[in-house]
Amino acid sequence: MIRVKQLTFSYTNRPFICSMSFDVREGEIFGFLGPSGAGKSTLQKILTGLLTNYQGSVLVNGVEVKARDRGFYEEIGVDFEFPSLYEKLSARENLRFFASLYKKSRDPNELLASVGLLQDADKRVADFSKGMKSRLNFIKALIHDPKLLFLDEPTTGLDPSNARRVKDIILEQKAKGKTIVLTTHNMYDATELCDRVAFIVDGSLRAVDAPRSLIMAKGASIIRYTFLQDGKEQQREVAIDRTGEDELLQQLLKDNRLLSIHSSEPTLNDIFVEITGRRLA
């Protein structure tokens, strides 16, 4: 669905994105992870045709983005990080207007209901909370039933239950065969939703793989346990493949003196830090 080869882009004289190459397969959720200013949004602008003065090749849905025509946008839905809505129009009027720009469209009511906004459909967007605007912005990207979705921080500003709704809709879109490009610095969303993630730092890709593969390849699971010593609670940890060598743990188990014991895997954030030396948030 997307094929990027030797992509280089610059806002100034200095390259901002350097020789980037990757593919996004049809029907997968592909995540771009990186700290602010890493180049994620710039990359999304290039993939959506907002920036066309790049070097290299960027094929999206079989079209070289530089040479796109307006028909290119019939199959692309973009959820920008910040709401892009007419504040004095109602939610339904906003959806109807944007739907009218495309050849095909979905039922606005069905979409509004899917994110819990049907009862507020005729309310002015100016009266919406930040989270409501964010949900409306998200379904606006789906109004023309595109094959390819670009979602920029789709769960930012949402409470846990609405974030869950949005994530479920993203997974439903994937089940329908849609390709989704997710830009985020939320490692939990990326781990849960993405088939593959790309780590971006300073305009270059440092790793591309499935989140689980990255976690399992780079990090060893840890066991943490606590116990009492001289009346104070102490904590120790040991790699899961070295528990047999931990004599203290053996002894505590034998004496039934463990207060707690947990296993923990490294998170995607831990792996990101390990590979790139930078933090996600």
Residues 136-155, one symbol each (x = binds other proteins by CB under 8 A, - = not), give: ----x---------------
CB of 110 to other proteins, least distance (A): 20
The answer to whether 130 contacts other proteins (rule: CB under 8 A) is no
Non-local (6+) Cβ contacts of 152 within 8 A are 40, 41, 44, 78, 79, 80, 81, 183, 184
Nearest to 40 by CA among 178, 160, 200: 200
Exactly one of 1, 2, 20, 42 binds other proteins (CB under 8 A); which one?
Answer: 42
CB of 132 closer than 8 Å to CB of 121: no
Q: Are 64 and 16 in contact (CB under 8 A)?
A: no
Q: Is 201 in the site for other proteins (CB under 8 A)?
A: no
Residue 20 or 187: the one with the smaller Cβ distance to other proteins is: 20
Q: Which of 13, 14, 36, 53 binds other proteins (CB under 8 A)?
A: 53
CA neighbor of 55 nearest in space, from 6, 89, 114: 6
- Is the Cβ of residue 89 or residue 273 nearer to other proteins in the bound state? 89
Show the site string, 65-104: x = touches other proteins by CB under 8 A, - = not: -----xx-xx-x-x-x-xxxxxxxx---x---xx-xxxx-
Work out whether 11 is an interface residue with other proteins (CB under 8 A). Answer: yes
Q: How many CB atoms lie within 10 A of CB 214?
A: 22
Helix or strand holding residue 233 (H, E): strand 232-239
Which is nearer to other proteins, 140 or 185 (by Cβ)? Answer: 140
**Helix residue ranges, H only, 38-90:** 40-47
Q: How many residues does the chain have?
A: 281
Site size toward other proteins, by CB under 8 A: 32
Binding site for other proteins (CB under 8 A): 11, 42, 45, 48-53, 70-71, 73-74, 76, 78, 80, 82-89, 93, 97-98, 100-103, 140
